Amino acid sequence: MELSNSKWVALRAVKKGTRFIVRQIEDKEMRTQLLRFGLAEGSEAVCFERLPLGPVIIKHRRQEVAIGEELTKKIWVEVIANQNDKEH
């Protein structure tokens, strides 16, 4: 699938503490599941935790959602702030 914007990265590449906007969810089934948590394309969230060779845990509003490693490669996000940006 071709990306609409070269500034987008796969969720798998996002570091802990990074705030982002979900831009594209390639997997239709996953899109439906995330929608149940109120998370959709255009939603803002933060990478809460990254487990080695495992899921990425994102925080959206007051919910934490664990997303499996393979699915994180199919979710494209636009980074809007890193945790380190606030420290400077």
- Domains in the chain, ordered, with CATH? 9-82 (2.30.30.90)
**Residue 21 to residue 11: CA distance in whole angstroms:** 10
Mean predicted lDDT score pLDDT of the chain: 88
pLDDT exceeds 90 at position 14: yes
pLDDT at 84 over 90: no
The secondary structure of the chain in percent helix, strand, coil, rounded to multiples of 5, reads: 25, 40, 40
Neighbours of 14 (CB within 10 A): 22
Tokens 């969720």 found at: 11
3-state secondary structure of 60: strand
Residue 42: name the closest of 67, 72, 8 by CA. Answer: 8
Res. 66: pLDDT tops 60:
yes
